[in-house]
Amino acid sequence: DAKTTQPPSMDCAEGRAANLPCNHSTISGNEYVYWYRQIHSQGPQYIIHGLKNNETNEMASLIITEDRKSSTLILPHATLRDTAVYYCIVRVVVTNDYKLSFGAGTTVTVRA
Amino acid sequence: KAGVTQTPRYLIKTRGQQVTLSCSPISGHRSVSWYQQTPGQGLQFLFEYFSETQRNKGNFPGRFSGRQFSNSRSEMNVSTLELGDSALYLCASSLVGRETQYFGPGTRLLVL
């Protein structure tokens, strides 16, 4: 699976949009971009994933650049409960290797 | 649908003992993966099971083993515990493996 690069930390004001960047310059055509988050000492929570089109669900939006070398997770109205470590993962899904490879992630702190 | 459940949630053992952790996947999910999370190494893949067969294995010693039952429930066992086995053990399930994985709350193991 391609490696990803994320900033180690970022702060966000409550009620504002949080934009989390992720670089995956070696991504290949059959690799999806997945985002998970992990609130302290809990299991990772799935947020969203996409291949090349932008995606939106009730939690977040995922914007993938046209060349697919980077993406941005957008939390539209951050709340204190969004404070967590956010992981960007690229993953081949048509394969016999189903593991997720987690990096260090971005520690997001939402401040009141 | 109920989420992934893991038991026990917390466990304290001493060096040399063995431990068995249990994971019940989301109903209908047949793939179960196990991960170890430590502050130093982050989230690392242990193994993945589907239809009672181990399909993928991470780089862990043979002391770490697992199995899956016909109802898709899975157990992992760690024998001859070492201090370094203290970690959060996470289980994730998906339909057949290549789809989105959903994580349980984890079992926190402390080895004294």
pLDDT digits (tens, 9 = 90+) for B90-101: 999 999 887 899
CA–CA separation, B53 and B39 (whole Å): 30
Judging contacts by C-beta atoms under 8 Å, the chain B residues touching residue A94 are: 98
Judging contacts by C-beta atoms under 8 Å, the chain A residues touching residue B97 are: 98
Q: What is the mean pLDDT of residues A6-21?
A: 97
State how far Cα B75 lies from the chain centre: 7
Backbone angles phi, psi at B85, to 5 degrees: -80, -5
Please judge whether A98 and B43 are an interchain contact, meaning their C-beta atoms are less than 8 angstroms apart. no
Number of H helices and E strands in chain A, helices first, is 0, 9
Residue of A34, A98, A106, A107 to mutate for B, most B C-beta atoms under 10 A: A98
Residue A5 confidence (pLDDT): 95
Q: What is the mean pLDDT of residues A52-60?
A: 95
pLDDT for residue A7 is more than 80 = yes
Q: Tally A–B CB contacts below 8 A.
A: 57
Say whether the peptide bond before residue A8 is cis (omega within 30 degrees of 0): no
